[in-house]
Amino acid sequence: MKKKITIAGNGFASLFFIMYFLDSPVFPFFAWCFRRMYSRYDMTVIGNGAFVYFPAIPEFLTHKRNTQCITVDIRSFLGRRNIRLIEDRIIDVQDGGRTVVTEHGRYANDALFLGIGPSFRKDDLPGTREYTYSPCYGPDDMARFTSRLESLDQGIVYIGYKINKKDGFVAGRTGPMYECACLLDAALKKRGARDRFEIHFFSPNRTPGEKGALTDRLRERGIIMDDGYLPAAFVEGGMVDHDGTFRKADLVLYSPEITGAPFLRQSCLPVSAGGHIDVDRYGQVRGLHNVFAAGDCASHEAPPPWVPHQAHMAQLRAQAAAQNLKAALKNKSPTHRYRHELSCILDMDNDAMWMHIAEDDRPPFWNLFPRRSKHLIQVKALFERLFLFYLRYL
């Protein structure tokens, strides 16, 4: 009898998990025929069926990207792999992971992979929902911000983030916010309006007077650094400080702390101090049989403090989870541990930096690429095109 495998979510972690679990070949047509006849697995994905390439969303500011070009309907991708898609929203996990409950049904499994993405703490700071935008919420929110920006002839724009540090790693979106600050500067310069706008960059997680390459890039662009700052509330037309002082802001682009989905604490899944699914270094959910998790929904075991939530880290974690789940289905112990690594290219429109830290000091791509060069923008775009081509056609 085929093993029933449920994959919750259809973001980076889930798609990388499918890739590594099936050892996806170059010629998927022949694999489709083979799997129809010989597959040992009955695989189901529960999600919305639309994959969004989130790393490209900051480029909405310079009109190099839009919603259509970074969104892929993955039904064909799943169909070529004989994977069923259930378009629904997960609201609970029960029976030690053996039952996934959605808004419209219940689904049993022999093994479960959770790649359900993050939840943003929009309610921790009053006014976040009503008066701020974020590239991290998706393309629609960023498109609304861009539209509002273009309606302004002058103004004050604040860009910032906050990190959830309860689990000892960077549970927040820092990279996209730095990128947005640089690309906003570029977009306003192309409009000939930069001198009519103030751009502020703020975060309570930055030390006042903090130095470094990222700080230098922002200062070079005339961006005002409000290190250590977090308002008491966002309000119409600006922000209110803790002493009651009003700060004018025509637009605020803000990424709040990241945590796990709201239903987790009512489910059978163990939850970390920071609200994430509690997993070990093998991707296993602690205390549960044949349940694995990766990506922004999951915590890290003993992480270095710089470890981020990002697509690359989701890839490394999903690879380990896929290999270990295959071993678990054969009643073998897990052996694949994922590597802690931060690796991303910061696009500044007229410049770019490869931000990279690895716990084993391994360089990105054998140091074939420079760490700072405008040509890295093309490298980043190439990664995007290859991944989206893979989803659409292979």
pLDDT tens, residue by residue, 75-87:
999 999 999 999 9
**How much is the pLDDT for 20?**
96
Lowest mean pLDDT among 28-32, 96-100, 339-343: 28-32
Residues in a beta bridge with 193:
none
Long-range contacts at 69-74 (CB < 8 A, ≥ 24 apart): 70/139, 70/384, 70/388, 71/139, 72/388, 72/391, 72/392, 73/49, 74/10, 74/15, 74/49, 74/50, 74/391
pLDDT band, very low/low/confident/very high, at 27 (cuts 50, 70, 90): low
**How much is the pLDDT for 29?**
56
What is this structure's pTM?
0.94
What is each CA distance from 295 to 22, 45, 199, 328, 390, in whole angstroms? 19, 16, 32, 20, 20
> What are the tens digits of pLDDT across the range 152-178?
999 999 999 999 999 999 999 999 999
With residue 322 as reference, give the H or E element that holds it.
helix 311-329
pLDDT band, very low/low/confident/very high, at 25 (cuts 50, 70, 90): low
Residue 333 burial class via C-beta count within 10 angstroms: exposed 0-12, middle 13-18, buried 19 and up? exposed
Q: Output 220 or 35, whichever has higher pLDDT.
A: 220
Q: Could you name the CATH architecture of 3-118+260-341+383-393? A: 3-Layer(bba) Sandwich (3.50)
**How much is the pLDDT for 39?**
72
Six token digits for residue 123: 């309610």
**What percentage of the chain has pLDDT greater than the value 90?**
93
Q: Is residue 34's pLDDT more than 80?
A: no
Domain parsing of the chain, residue ranges = 3-118+260-341+383-393, 121-258
The whole-angstrom distance between residue 111's C-alpha and the CA centroid of its chain comes to: 24
**How much is the pLDDT for 40?**
81
* Structural class in CATH, domain 121-258: alpha beta
> What are the tens digits of pLDDT across the range 197-213?
999 999 999 999 999 99
> What are the tens digits of pLDDT across the range 292-343?
999 999 999 999 999 999 999 999 999 999 999 999 999 999 999 999 999 9
Lowest mean pLDDT among 109-113, 262-266, 361-365: 361-365
- Whether the domain at 3-118+260-341+383-393 and the domain at 121-258 fall into the same CATH topology: yes
**pLDDT (average), residues 345-365:** 95
Average pLDDT, the chain: 95
Q: What does the alpha-carbon distance between residue 177 and residue 296 come to, in Å, rounded to a whole number?
A: 17
**How much is the pLDDT for 33?**
62
> What are the tens digits of pLDDT across the range 287-306?
999 999 999 999 999 999 99
**How much is the pLDDT for 325?**
97
Tell me whether strands 341-347 and 352-358 are parallel, antiparallel or unpaired: antiparallel
Q: Is residue 385's pLDDT more than 70?
A: yes
Six token digits for residue 255: 């990424």
Residue whose C-alpha is closest to residue 153's, from 199, 186, 197, 200: 197
